[in-house]
Structure 1
Amino acid sequence: MAKQTYSISDLAQELDVTTRTIRFYEEQGMLTPQRRGQERIYSPKDRVALKLILRGKRLGLSLAECKTLIELYDPQTGNQKQLNIMLGMIAERRAQLEQQLLDIQQMQLELDTAEERCRTALADSASKKTAAE
């Protein structure tokens, strides 16, 4: 049985990304297709790496973090180390998001306060103008 390979357009279509996106990740050293002349030939490992990159992006991981996960990909060991590292990254990302949520809630309170002050100042100004007339 021949080993499954993918063209750049196969991967782009399957994973709903542009070929330019795939070439970018290749330039970053995250994908390593073989070449047949000008044609890029991607392996199943490249396909998995691209899926990891896209999943990592959706989770808010950096390219460096995605690259670390790709380098740890080792199906022969059940990816134990990769999965443990990923759990750590998920926990860290969750903590960042929780802090951002608290920051947003604080900013909303500050906006509410500023808005109320503006409305009070406008109301005071309007009532003073009416009283002067």
Structure 2
Amino acid sequence: MTETRLSFKEMCARFDVTPRTLRYYEYIELLAPEKEGRARFYGPREMARLKLILRGRRFGFSLEEIRQWLLIYGKKGERPQLQAWLQLADRQLVELEKQKAELDASIADLRALRETAVQEMDRLVE
């Protein structure tokens, strides 16, 4: 495995993605590997892009949001891309905090119901 280029299989292994995922990202133009015949090779640019894509997905961004954000760099440069990133991040932080509050409430409800069940079992001791 070379440091400057990875094969399709090496790319899947390094980033723990399925071949289907990698092909899909290429299909929707998030990645543009070098092609030699039927073989695909991924250089530093594509590795960095995949890292950003996977991180964006982990944060809950849609593939279209990620694609639009990546396009900004090529068309307008780094500063506009960072400004767009800040807007996306701010919006997603609000959404994740909302999801966290909902999850915390669900956990509290489940704990309360579990405690009720424990008390009921204690009452029904044979």
Once structures 1 and 2 are overlaid, which stretch shifts more, 93-102 or 17-26?
A: 17-26
Larger Rg: 1
Mapped partners of 2:29, 2:117: distance in 1: 53
Q: What are the ranges of 5 or more consecutive residues in structure 2 without an aligned counterpart? A: none
User: What does residue 39 of structure 1 align with?
Assistant: 39
User: What does residue 80 of structure 2 align with?
Assistant: 81
1:58-69 aligned at under 5 Å gives the runs: 58-69=58-69
Match status 1:51 vs 2:51? yes
Q: Offset of 1:28 from its aligned partner? A: 2.0
TM-score (norm. length: structure 1): 0.68
Q: What are the ranges of 5 or more consecutive residues in structure 1 without an aligned counterpart? A: none
Mapped partners of 1:67, 1:93: distance in 2: 16
Per-residue CA deviations over 1:93-112 (Å, capped at 9, x if unaligned) read 21122112211221122123
SS at structure 1 position matched to 2:92: helix
TM-score (norm. length: structure 2): 0.71
Q: Offset of 1:83 from its aligned partner? A: 1.0
Once structures 1 and 2 are overlaid, which stretch shifts more, 8-17 or 108-117?
A: 8-17
How many matched pairs? 123
Q: CA RMSD in A?
A: 3.0
1:51-130 aligned at under 5 Å gives the runs: 51-74=51-74, 77=77, 79-124=78-123, 126=124
SS at structure 1 position matched to 2:73: coil
